[in-house]
């Protein structure tokens, strides 16, 4: 009996130590993700899982690390594991939706986003990723509403206004979409966003957007990002205007020449992949 009790005490002691270790590794993983160090985050998350294989948060953070490395299948597997361990962790389903989209599974991404929003309805106005998914499955009315509602969160964000325009252009034509262009609460300071907005207004030509990005006095990383967004939105504008050839030209430049570490690069990549399949 004493031996049995000793074993139980030893197991309990090990569990407490492991849980403490796991918490420390989780802190490391979160800090690494915040710094943008996906490799360090992955290493810390792996250690957290080794210390506590039933930690939903550990699997969630490892999923985030995989997602940051664009290892979509691995990320989805970990988000699934996280949710299986904790059914209240619907953030895992939300993140899984983003990874589904990146793999071209757009309908599945909407299902995941909807599941998340059912549990977190206050997050709906700001869920621009769902709006983009609506666009790519041809649900332009739903997409336009998503971005219209998004004004309360992104009132000075040209991208929100752009996708609202884009959904309406595919639904009603460019002229009506321009008439219904969302007004901005203030200037979008990112280059070349205001020139993109002028393009939507009909006050600037697509080439002027690319020129504004190219002439901007920015460091290398910011210049690359400006060029990416310039080509992305010029390409999407050409699609709205029915010029598939010019759309593909600019989308190819965005994806292949000006890669960035943001979800919008994945949007461009999915878009180009769909064009290549046609």
pLDDT band at 17 (very low <50, low <70, confident <90, very high): very low
Model pLDDT for residues 33-90, shown as the tens digit of each residue: 999 999 999 999 999 999 999 999 999 999 999 999 999 999 999 999 999 999 999 9
3-state secondary structure of 156: coil
Torsion from C-alpha of 141, 147, 148, 154, nearest 10 degrees = 180
Instruction: Please compute Rg for the chain using Cα positions.
Output: 22
Distance CA 122, CA 174 (A): 31
Q: Which residue has the higher pLDDT, 8 or 159?
A: 159
Nearest-10 crossing angle of helices 56-68, 91-102: 30
Q: How far apart are CA 233 and CA 220, in angstroms?
A: 20
pLDDT on residue 11: 35
Closest residue by Cα to residue 142 from 119, 124, 122? 124
- Kindly tell me the sign of the dihedral angle through the C-alpha atoms of 84, 87, 93, 95: negative
Per-residue pLDDT tens over the stretch 108-123 = 999 999 999 999 999 9
Q: Which residue has the tokens 């793999």?
A: 103
E strands, the chain, in order: none
How far, rounded to the nearest angstrom, does the alpha carbon of residue 11 sit from its chain's CA centroid?
Answer: 42
d(CA 250, CA 206) in angstroms, rounded, equals 10
pLDDT surpasses 70 at 238: yes
């Amino acid at each position: 009996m004493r031996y049995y009790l000793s074993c139980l005490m030893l197991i309990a002691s090990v569990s407490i130590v492991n849980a403490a270790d796991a918490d420390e590794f989780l802190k490391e993983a979160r800090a690494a993700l915040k710094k943008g160090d996906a490799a360090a985050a992955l290493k810390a998350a792996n250690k957290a899982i080794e210390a506590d294989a039933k930690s939903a948060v550990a699997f969630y953070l490892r999923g985030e690390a995989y997602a940051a490395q664009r290892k979509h299948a691995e990320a989805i597997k970990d988000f699934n594991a996280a949710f299986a361990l904790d059914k209240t962790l619907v953030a895992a389903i939300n993140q899984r939706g983003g990874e589904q989209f990146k793999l071209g599974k757009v309908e599945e991404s909407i299902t995941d986003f909807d599941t998340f929003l059912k549990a977190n309805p206050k997050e709906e106005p700001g869920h621009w990723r769902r709006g983009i998914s609506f666009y790519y499955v041809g649900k332009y009315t739903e997409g336009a509403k998503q971005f219209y509602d998004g004004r309360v969160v992104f009132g000075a964000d040209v991208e929100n206004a752009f996708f609202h325009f884009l959904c309406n252009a595919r639904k009603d034509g460019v002229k009506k979409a321009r008439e219904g262009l969302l007004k901005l609460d203030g200037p979008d300071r990112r280059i070349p966003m205001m020139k993109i907005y002028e393009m939507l207004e009909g006050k600037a030509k697509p080439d002027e957007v690319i020129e504004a990005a190219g002439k901007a006095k920015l460091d290398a990383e910011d210049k690359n990002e400006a060029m990416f967004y310039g080509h992305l939105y010029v390409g999407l504008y050409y699609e709205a205007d029915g010029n598939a050839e010019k759309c593909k030209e600019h989308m190819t430049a965005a994806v292949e020449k000006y890669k960035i570490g943001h979800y919008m690069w994945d949007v461009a990549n999915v878009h180009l992949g769909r064009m290549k399949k046609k």
